[in-house]
Amino acid sequence: MVDKVKVNINGNDYFVPENYTILKAAEENGIDIPTLCYEEGLPITGACRMCVVEVRGARKLMAACATQVSDGMEVLTESERVVEARREILRLLIANHDLRCLTCERNGDCRLQDYCYRYKVEDTPYKGEVKDFKIITDNPFFIRDYSKCIKCGKCVSICAEVNGAHVYEFINRGFDTKVTSAFDDPLPETTCTFCGMCINVCPVAALVEKSTLWKGRPWEVKKVTTTCSYCGVGCQLKLKVKDNTIIGVAADKSGSNLGHLCSKGQFGWDYVHSKDRLTHPLIKREGEFVRVTWEEALNYIAGRFKDILSQWGGRALAGLSSAKCTNEENYLFQKFMRVVLQTNNIDHCARL
């Protein structure tokens, strides 16, 4: 058991486990501290400095994400000094950021924007050099717009620490620092597996799925939490839907996958809208499939099953159920086979 310590945040005492950071202690007690580079499950880098707070007795402001609590600690999360520091950081970030928010895909779903609003940072006094990069479109799935990158490093981190692909790295130093692939190679020529986790951790619009470009503003896009339809890991994810079309996927942290996905879960959804989809029942007549109504199709099937049942009994019938269908459907299917077709000849491709 971890011992608890008393921490005073903004004048109120809280008892939290001693291995908590200030950020976690605050979060659990409903106090929101802004973060850009922090991501649960990834190493703490303390890079963005958005989460700085005032700790009594400390000479400098402390990063809440990286500072462990201690007994009797007194923390101010929104003091004047803290707020001014955060505003300065925001002014600095937007001074070197492509501020064409009007048409930005993350407009309305952007941490940088949210925090500027929260701290009333309307503009920046720093009108100097702005890093301007060409948008990179080197792969089928997403674009990289480094003019919008704020160097939080989460893409670097998730790629290295979770996927293990180590595609991204910081290059250069100081103001020239940028994130890129090794030797600036196009992603298809790197170890990238296109899991897209980098897109989902990007707090701004530096990494954007191509499928969402110009498809709708974030607030127009419905997000539906569901289970991935590929392998048996059962990853949870959020489908982004606009105009009855799946335009992308966002991370969902409620499942064992902790928001992590692979390329299929992230990008493998267009089959839903495939032109090859079956759209109506078909009956084969003289070797050709002919479109029929549901009524015709079901009557025909019922008739044929009844014939076989009466002539040969249930043992002449068999059903293959699907490892792709839902539990409810599989349940109904075996019930149908057992009850209606009177047979235990039921199986599915569990073994394949």
229 interacts with another protein by CB under 8 A: yes
310 interacts with another protein by CB under 8 A: no
- Furthest-apart CA pair in the chain: how many Å? 91
Whether the Cβ atoms of residue 209 and residue 194 lie closer than 8 Å to each other = no
Enumerate long-range contacts of 105-109, CB under 8 Å, 24 or more apart.
105/205, 105/208, 105/212, 105/213, 105/218, 106/204, 106/205, 106/208, 106/218, 107/217, 107/218, 108/217, 108/218, 108/219, 109/218, 109/219
Number of chain positions touching another protein (CB under 8 A): 148
* Nearer CB in complex with another protein: 134/173: 173
DSSP code at position 153: -
Question: Residue 199 and residue 237: Cα distance in Å, rounded?
Answer: 14
Select from 17, 46, 216, 218 the one that contacts another protein (CB under 8 A).
46
Rounded least distance, CB 20 to another protein, Å: 13
SS3 66: coil
Select from 17, 108, 216, 319 the one that contacts another protein (CB under 8 A).
319
Neighbours of 55 (CB within 10 A): 20
Whether the Cβ atoms of residue 66 and residue 44 lie closer than 8 Å to each other = yes
Select from 129, 132, 286, 288 the one that contacts another protein (CB under 8 A).
129
67 interacts with another protein by CB under 8 A: yes
The contact pattern for another protein, residues 169-208, with x = CB under 8 A and - = no contact, is: xx-xxxxxx---------------xxx-------------
Whether the Cβ atoms of residue 146 and residue 176 lie closer than 8 Å to each other = no
Rounded least distance, CB 112 to another protein, Å: 11
* Nearer CB in complex with another protein: 81/100: 81
Select from 280, 286, 288, 310 the one that contacts another protein (CB under 8 A).
280
72 interacts with another protein by CB under 8 A: no
Candidate segments 5-13, 113-121, 212-220, 225-233, binder of another protein by CB under 8 A: 225-233
Rounded least distance, CB 256 to another protein, Å: 5
335 interacts with another protein by CB under 8 A: yes
Strand order in the sheet with 62-63: 12-17, 4-9, 73-76, 52-55, 62-63
323 interacts with another protein by CB under 8 A: yes
